[in-house]
Homo-oligomer: A and B are copies of this chain.
Amino acid sequence: MTRRAAGSGAGKRRGYHHGDLRRALLAAALRLLETEGPRALTLRAVARRAGVSQAAPYRHFADKQALLAAVAEEGFRAMTEAMRRATTEHPDNPLGRLHALGLAYVGFASGHPSHFRVMFGREIADRSAYPSLGAAAQEAFALLLEAIADCQRAGFVRPGDLEELALSAWSIVHGLSALLVDSQLHGLQEKGQEHLAQTVTQILFLGLGPRQP
């Protein structure tokens, strides 16, 4: 039984070879992650979902970790994209841009919790083994740095070590995201992710801002 795609109408499986298994595996992995959760994300299940045999993924990924790393990298790209989109709505207002960045970060996290967890979680043991992962993450951080630098120039943010200010901003949105994603906020959760993000970024801005008269 050579397991050809039954209909093949949607151009799914043309024959013995898949055509674009790598992409299909990534898609299947992400789908599994979002629908069944991280525990269901097994290499064999991914292969099943993609309609190939259990060992097929090894032609495209060294091991499970490598698959996960690729999924995470995709996540960072998507998040960066979402953040970039958010900033374009405030072409002339640096502080609005920074605000939008923070909201987009939290929004992505609570919109794609499983993806977010793979991006930052410990399933990937040695991140340094996947340099392109780090690069993708760095890109998101770069957006933040840029936005804060703009705010400094415009006088919305006090002078000081740019990286340290950015770290504070990153920490607060990342912390809220992590707490939301791990549903650690029982009582507060019901106030709505959006409202909490507003509250938290508000405090952040007061902290970053110059002395008020």
Chain A residues within CB distance 8 Å of chain B: 37-39, 117, 120-122, 125, 127, 134, 137, 161, 163-165, 167-168, 170-179, 182-188, 191, 196, 199-200, 203-209, 211-213
Contacts and interface: CB of A to CB of B under 8 A. Distances in A.
Nearest to A212: B211
Nearest to A172: B172
A101 B40 CA distance: 38
Nearest to A197: B171
A185 B36 CA distance: 30
User: Which 4 A-B pairs rank lowest in CB-CB distance, beginning with the nearest?
Assistant: A175-B175, A207-B207, A171-B175, A174-B175
Contacts of A167: 176, 179, 185, 188, 196, 199-200
A168 B169 CA distance: 11
A180 to B, nearest CB: 9
